Amino acid sequence: MPLNIVRNDITNLHVDAIVNAANTDLAMGGGVCGAIFKAAGAAQMQAACDKLAPIKTGEAVITPGFALPAKFVIHAAGPVYRHWNAEQNEVYLRAAYTNSLKRAVENKCESVAFPLISSGIYGYPKDEALRVATSAIRDFLSKHDIDVSLVVFDKSAFIVSEKLLGEVASYLDEHFVEEHPISRRELLDVEREALDEKSIINLNRSMPPSAQKAMPIFEESVAGAPRINLDDIVGNLDEPFSTTLLRLIDKSGKKDSEIYNRANINRRLFSKIRNNAHYAPSKPTVIAFAIALELTLDQTEYLLERAGLALSHSRKFDVIVEYFIASGKCDVYEINEVLFKYDQQLLGA
């Protein structure tokens, strides 16, 4: 069910279907359209399109992919942008995405890749084209289980709100600390032993007697050195991530499907998490659920701890998502647009 953003040549993608930003005559054009025809085999593709042409703006039809890695090509006719008719432009553009997705589902496709329709020679402002695309795709994905990719060939063609990027950049300037390796010589055995002994003494001194007696995981060995009782540690593990997540979902009062859809997680992955108490999620997966549950920063860090993870100000990805969580901005798709601009891993998908 996730919506992913990738920078690639759409003709190289191994998905069930790719979408061609077509004209209403379904004739071979330039740009992405021309590249798709050439990669598929121009003569074969044109012959298949001629049988289906013409179509209306907002409509979509499907043909084989021929020589392409994709099994199908869905040809969607987006609108030519007219600034005096913005509402009608959006209706047509949404229809192009929705009808394309309908063709994909009708043909049992599990994955489909889109270009940013109408944002090239048809003149649709790229930021508006992106907004309409993500809105239409999200609405469709709320009721259908299919993986969708939004493909851009050049990151400069992917425009995110200047105001939002400015706020994120300011937060990064204030909080991001680059890691620098520290070079130290290796300690001699005698130095290491001395430090270990000093650490043990300081630990005992810093703890009140009552706390020292209450710690079950340290026992005195015959030689007098502390040793860790693994049985006690294993018996006192924290609640695992899967259990914590399911408890938080129940507490939210929302359905499972609502949360994993908002987290940009597909049903198959959520099922693995639900059925495996020891599932070890990636950091983007944990954060995606935290965003979907609208957790605070402290609550997010708690959920990360349950998966053995943590946020760090030495990682750009972590600082960016921290900005959104701290600001109470809980839209995974908006966060992914910013992460994409910074060449970071996306949430959920």
pLDDT band at 213 (very low <50, low <70, confident <90, very high): very low
Element spanning 198, H or E: helix 189-206
Phi, psi values for residue 81, rounded to 5°: -70, 130
Q: Is 129 exposed, middle or buried (0-12, 13-18, 19+ CB in 10 A)?
A: buried
> For residue 260, is pLDDT > 90?
yes
Alpha-carbon dihedral angle through residues 48, 49, 55, 61, given to the nearest 10 degrees: 60
Scanning 253-348, the segments in alpha helix (DSSP H) are: 256-262, 267-275, 283-292, 297-306, 316-326, 332-341
pLDDT band at 210 (very low <50, low <70, confident <90, very high): very low
Which segment, 69-73, 116-120, 169-173, is predicted with the most confidence on average? Answer: 69-73
| pLDDT tens sequence across 71-107 | 999 999 999 999 888 899 999 999 999 999 999 999 9
| pLDDT tens sequence across 126-170 | 889 989 999 999 999 988 989 999 998 666 656 677 778 788 888
d(CA 64, CA 68): 9
Q: Check residue 89 and give its pLDDT.
A: 95
pLDDT band at 329 (very low <50, low <70, confident <90, very high): very high
Q: pTM for the complete prediction?
A: 0.76
Strands 3-7 and 147-152: parallel
3-state secondary structure of 208: coil
Per-domain residue ranges of the chain: 3-159, 162-179+212-349
First to last CA, the chain: 8
Nearest to 338 by CA among 161, 205, 171: 161
**Whole-number average pLDDT of the chain:** 85
3-159 in CATH: which number?
3.40.220.10
